[in-house]
Amino acid sequence: MKAAVMRANNAPLEIEDVGIDDPGPGEVLLKTAASGICHSDLHVIEGSLPVPPPCILGHESAGIVEAVGEGVTDFAPGDHVIGCLTSWCGVCKFCTGGRPYLCLTQFSVRPEGSKSRLSSSNGDPIAQFANLSSFAERMLCPERSLVKIRDDIPLDRASLIGCGVTTGLGAALNTVDIPAGASVVIIGCGGVGLAALQGARIVGAGKIIAIDAHPWKFDLAQKLGATDCINATDGDPVAAVHALTGGGADFVFECIGLVTTVQQAIAMTGRGGTTVLVGVVPLTQLVPISAADLTLQEKKITGSYMGSNRFRFDMPKYIDFYLDGRLHLDEMISSRIDLAEVNEAFDRMRKGEAARQVIVFD
Ligand SMILES: NC(=O)c1ccc[n+]([C@@H]2O[C@H](COP(=O)([O-])OP(=O)(O)OC[C@H]3O[C@@H](n4cnc5c(N)ncnc54)[C@H](O)[C@@H]3O)[C@@H](O)[C@H]2O)c1
Ligand SMILES: [Zn+2]
Ligand SMILES: [Zn+2]
């Protein structure tokens, strides 16, 4: 099968013929239908998230089951599924405590000494990213990385739910509790931020302020529910939020992952408000913050990982939201591309030229 292989950091992915094994116990083989391109893939390419090459990236995917391994009872050939990188074990304290997205063993590799799920044409192993590796025509996944979905949602739309939508929507619906009428700021109108924005709209937030450095995104942000938009390159966005909210917002979602925008997010958060960190700041970078600002104004900061999901419960619900018109996914797709165009897609992402780009397979 064809796949885009990361052979080195900061280099184009290489389209190669790659081997994929048969499904072993508890595994499911999929024909990949679509894979969104998420900034976390770019973080890996750029070395901000350490994953050693060779590796096949891609983790925002939907597909159709082709075959199942021994013991798999939840899936059968022909099922439509979405993949999620937070696989769960079901027995650790986080799984049994109701937060399976924090599972201690979420990246399940095959037992030591077994054949790699993915390999080069010469048989050398290639690492699988997050149990998924969806920049490839087939995927071989643990069953607990997948959820079966209804088959009346187009799979390109469904793929977005695999990461960006679940992350952004879940940050607003699951990680924090936004009362109706609360003021909300979204920093970064990419796939993740636009989903958080829709979450704020769905829970009935009052002002929903979208911030981006690329003003062409504002039409889209307004269609998806933004009441106000701020161009981050035009004056001080912190002062602009204070002016619009009378001293700071109740909830601020940072959906980029830059040191400066994390600092801005905290500064935009009003007294008693909550800053939600969704973007991934490169692991080697620290963010200086004023602790007194938090203490004296009782601000809270929380991280939000993968939308605090219980994905077998959440993803089918998000599909219902889409099909009943509450969650807009069609508008979020700025282009559909072939696998061979994946490097150009990352260039567009670097330049802020895209909302969500989706690789569609035949
Ligand atoms: N917490 C999680 O579980 C999780 C899951 C998925 C993705 N992420 C992270 O979320 C972040 C966003 O991902 P994405 O796929 O939506 O990215 P994206 O590249 O599609 O979107 C980023 C947006 O930020 C804007 N932007 C860039 N610099 C800016 C600045 N200085 N000021 C204002 N706007 C600016 C860009 O124009 C773009 O619209 C990434 O860091 C990604 O790794 C986190
Ligand atoms: Zn992602
Ligand atoms: Zn677990």
Give the residue whose CA is nearest to atom 21 of ligand 1: 190
The ligand with the least distance to the CA atom of 49 is: 1
Whether 328 is catalytic is no
Tens-binned pLDDT, residue by residue, of the chain (362 aa): 999 999 999 999 999 999 999 999 999 999 999 999 999 999 999 999 999 999 999 999 999 999 999 999 999 999 999 999 999 999 999 999 999 999 998 777 788 889 999 999 999 999 999 999 999 999 999 999 999 999 999 999 999 999 999 999 999 999 999 999 999 999 999 999 999 999 999 999 999 999 999 999 999 999 999 999 999 999 999 999 999 999 999 999 999 999 999 999 999 999 999 999 999 999 999 999 999 999 999 999 999 999 999 999 999 999 999 999 999 999 999 999 999 999 999 999 999 999 999 999 98
Alpha carbon 57 to its chain's center: 13
pLDDT of residue 37: 98
pLDDT of residue 220: 98
Helix (H, G, I), strand (E, B) or coil at 320: helix
Contact 112, 41 (CB under 8 A): no
Whether 39 is catalytic is no
pLDDT of residue 40: 96
Q: Report the atom number in ligand 1 closest to the C-alpha of 356.
A: 20
Active-site entry in 39, 43, 80, 328: 43
Cis amide linkage into residue 54, ω under 30° from 0: yes
**DSSP state string for 141-187:** EEGGGEEE--TTS-HHHHHHHTTHHHHHHHIIIIIS---TT--EEEE
Whether 103 is catalytic is no
Give the residue whose CA is nearest to atom 13 of ligand 1: 39
Q: Is 84's C-beta closer than 6 angstroms to any atom of ligand 1?
A: no
